[in-house]
Amino acid sequence: MNRALLVVDMQNGFCHPKGSFTRIGMGLEGADDAVRNAAIAVTQARRAAIPVVFTRHLYRPGRADEGQALKQNSPALAGLDGLQAGTWDAEVVAELACGPQDLTVDKVRFDAFQWTSLEPLLRGLGVDDLVVCGVVTNLCVETTIRSAFMRDFPVRMLADCCAAQTRRLHELSLEVLSSYRLARIESITAGFDLAEARAEADGKARAQASAEAPAIPVTA
């Protein structure tokens, strides 16, 4: 099994109390807990040498790439230069320790696969088990998981490493994704460990391969 952890948009603008979304009245309920749990997931992945891919939702200065639909979705954001490339607001929160050595994919739409290098990156890494967390649960996270599903990536979603504007919106998204089997819902606080789950799956795969291997005849 080749696993990767995809951390969607856990940026200051979305998750920090002084970020642009809180300042325009669109802060996320449970963002602090989501960041705290995501930091544990990132640590687990790094400990097991599992690739971690961070996405950042950001716009160029002048916001020509924002698009009319997103401008109408959160019109006050532009007045704060929210999520503008090169600003503190657009950077991944410090708790996740995303550095120059990490894999980062920048995007301008909810879907992290749209107009980005995410798919060729995951294919190049040989990923066949994608673990996803981040914000906003019912927007960029859900849209990206749907897109991954349609590209035949098996997905696990870390529910307690995600947050939405309200807890209800978060829970509705989990219900949709799980009921249609678009993602398997997991939880760090319930004991899910990326490293242990990977080792267990690899062990089962080796056992199955051994059981299916043809017997070698013994000759005298």
Q: Mind listing the pLDDT tens digit for each residue in 79-100?
A: 999 999 999 999 999 999 998 8
CA distance 118 to 107: 10
What residues contact residue 97 under an 8 Å CB cut-off, 6+ apart?
A: 39, 42
Sign, CA torsion 13/18/24/30: positive
Exposed, middle or buried, 27 (CB in 10 Å: 0-12/13-18/19+)? middle
For 52-93, the three-class secondary structure string (H helix, E strand, C coil) is: EEEEEECECCCCCCCCHHHHHHCHHHHHHCCCECCCHHHCEC
Sign, CA torsion 18/39/121/144: negative
pLDDT of residue 198: 63
* Predicted TM-score (pTM) of this structure: 0.91
Mean local confidence (pLDDT), 104-116: 98
* Per-residue model confidence as pLDDT tens digits over 168-208: 999 999 999 999 999 999 999 999 999 997 666 555 545 55
